[in-house]
Amino acid sequence: MEHEPEARIIGRIERGLTSDDPELAARMDTLNARFSEEGRGGGPVPPRARRSRRARTVLVLVVIALVGLFLTMILNASSGETPAPPSSLVPAASL
């Protein structure tokens, strides 16, 4: 059994499961057929769907960035205080 290719081992397991529970095997065949028909079986994605998904992603990221900037403005403006300059300034060394 060590030297059998994986496909043969998987086939043997599938045949065993099919003979043990034919009703489950029928359900699995139905589900596999349904998902492959819906395009989830690895088929190509239409360019229009790819573009619309990309556009939605960009739009969501822009909205998140704008909300973040808006919140930053509001939180900085509501403090009412200007930041104090540093208490100790160290002059830069010149050579």
pLDDT of residue 89: 64
User: Cβ distance 25 to 17 under 8 Å?
Assistant: yes
- What is this structure's pTM? 0.37
Please indicate, yes or no, whether residues 1 and 33 belong to a single structural domain of this protein: yes
In this structure, the answer to whether residues 16 and 38 fall within a common structural domain is yes
Q: Do residues 56 and 49 lie in contact, with contact meaning Cβ atoms separated by under 8 Å? A: no
Residue span of the structural domain in which 55 resides? 45-77
Do 67 and 38 sit in the same domain of this protein?
Answer: no
Coil, helix or strand for 40? Answer: coil
Same domain, 15 and 53: no
Interhelix angle 6-20/22-37, rounded to 10 degrees, is 120
pLDDT confidence band for 41 (50 / 70 / 90):
very low
Q: What is the pLDDT of residues 44-93, one digit of tens each?
A: 667 777 788 889 999 999 999 999 999 999 888 766 666 666 666 666 66
What is the CB neighbour count within 10 angstroms for residue 64?
Answer: 10
Predicted confidence at residue 64, as pLDDT, reads 97
What is the four-CA torsion angle of 18, 23, 29, 30, rounded to 10 degrees? 180
Asked whether residue 56 falls in the same domain as residue 27, the answer is no
